[in-house]
């Protein structure tokens, strides 16, 4: 009990203000997907955010090889028309999420369970989407830097993060390692929820493009 309280206090007063995330066990996500909790992603509130993600991705690349890092039930995959992606690769910590994603995803989609903090990308991508999952990484900056190593030259990260909790601290933690190319704020119809979507480029890649 005392150890649990101390962990919570550390997370709230030390880790969260420094931009660290709050990892959640795979079993917890599995239970939430089985219970239907994540069907909230099918709500009208979420449609504007997915539309914005698709528009930003297509503006950067008309037909990308796309990694959906933290794909959940595959909602992003079905937000594209069948001919708008050269390839789709979805990875999620939850096996239950992947099971749901297989019911929705296009036939040529590649879907697999994996822990993004340790998972090694098998190929290179034009776009890597990190959609509402960086808050679950112990150190979002470290994980995004590692994933960005799988970008094709000229490739980008597209990151969506709900404006809540320590979201501002997470963006600050990313800023020394990534150049922000674009920022979009998406607000739901009720005006009480906001998501920030940023297109990011690793600073090493940004420096190389200037040379």
- For the four alpha carbons of 70, 75, 79 and 83, in that order, the dihedral sign comes to positive
pLDDT band at 74 (very low <50, low <70, confident <90, very high): very high
Give residue-wise pLDDT tens across range 93-150: 999 999 999 988 888 899 999 999 999 999 999 999 999 999 999 999 999 999 999 9
Predicted local confidence at residue 117, as pLDDT:
96
Supply the mean pLDDT for the chain.
Answer: 92
Predicted local confidence at residue 45, as pLDDT:
83
Predicted local confidence at residue 52, as pLDDT:
95
Predicted local confidence at residue 112, as pLDDT:
96
pTM across the whole model? 0.93
Under a CB-based contact definition with an 8 Å cutoff, are residues 186 and 48 in contact?
Answer: yes
28: its two tokens: 């917890």
Under a CB-based contact definition with an 8 Å cutoff, are residues 133 and 139 in contact?
Answer: no
Say yes or no to pLDDT of 211 above 60.
no
Say yes or no to pLDDT of 208 above 60.
no
- Give CB contacts under 8 A, 24+ apart, made by 142-150: 143/116, 143/117, 144/174, 144/177, 144/178, 144/200, 145/177, 145/202, 147/67, 147/69, 147/116, 147/121, 148/178, 148/200, 148/202, 148/205, 149/121, 150/67, 150/121, 150/123, 150/124, 150/125
Say yes or no to pLDDT of 206 above 70.
no
Under a CB-based contact definition with an 8 Å cutoff, are residues 199 and 180 in contact?
Answer: yes
Say yes or no to pLDDT of 205 above 70.
no
pLDDT band at 39 (very low <50, low <70, confident <90, very high): confident
Q: What is the mean pLDDT of residues 83-95?
A: 96
Give residue-wise pLDDT tens across range 133-148: 999 999 999 999 999 9
State the residue range of the domain holding 152.
Answer: 2-210
Number of structural domains in the chain: 1
Q: Which of 55-59, 85-89, 169-173, 206-210 has the lowest mean pLDDT?
A: 206-210
| Domain containing residue 148: CATH number | 3.40.50.150
Give residue-wise pLDDT tens across range 153-168: 999 999 999 999 999 9
Phi, psi dihedrals of residue 114, rounded to the nearest 5°: -170, 150
């Amino acid at each position: 009990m005392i150890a649990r309280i101390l962990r919570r206090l550390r997370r709230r007063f030390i880790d969260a203000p420094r931009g660290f995330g709050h990892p959640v066990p795979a079993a917890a996500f599995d239970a939430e997907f089985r219970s239907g909790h994540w069907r909230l992603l099918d709500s009208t509130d979420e449609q504007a955010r997915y539309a914005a993600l698709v528009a930003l991705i297509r503006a950067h690349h008309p037909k990308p090889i796309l990694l959906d890092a933290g794909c959940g039930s595959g909602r992003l995959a079905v937000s594209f028309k069948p001919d708008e992606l050269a390839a789709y690769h979805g990875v999620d910590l939850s096996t239950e999420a992947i099971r749901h994603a297989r019911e929705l995803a296009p036939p040529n989609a590649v879907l697999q369970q994996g822990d993004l903090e340790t998972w090694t990308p098998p190929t290179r991508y034009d776009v890597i989407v990190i959609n509402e999952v960086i808050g679950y990484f112990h150190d979002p900056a470290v994980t995004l830097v590692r994933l960005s190593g799988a970008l094709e030259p000229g490739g980008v990260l597209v990151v969506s993060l709900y404006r809540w909790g320590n979201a501002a601290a997470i963006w600050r933690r990313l800023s020394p390692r990534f150049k922000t190319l674009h920022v979009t704020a998406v607000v739901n119809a009720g005006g009480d929820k906001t998501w920030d979507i940023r297109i990011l480029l690793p600073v090493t890649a940004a420096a190389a493009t200037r040379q």
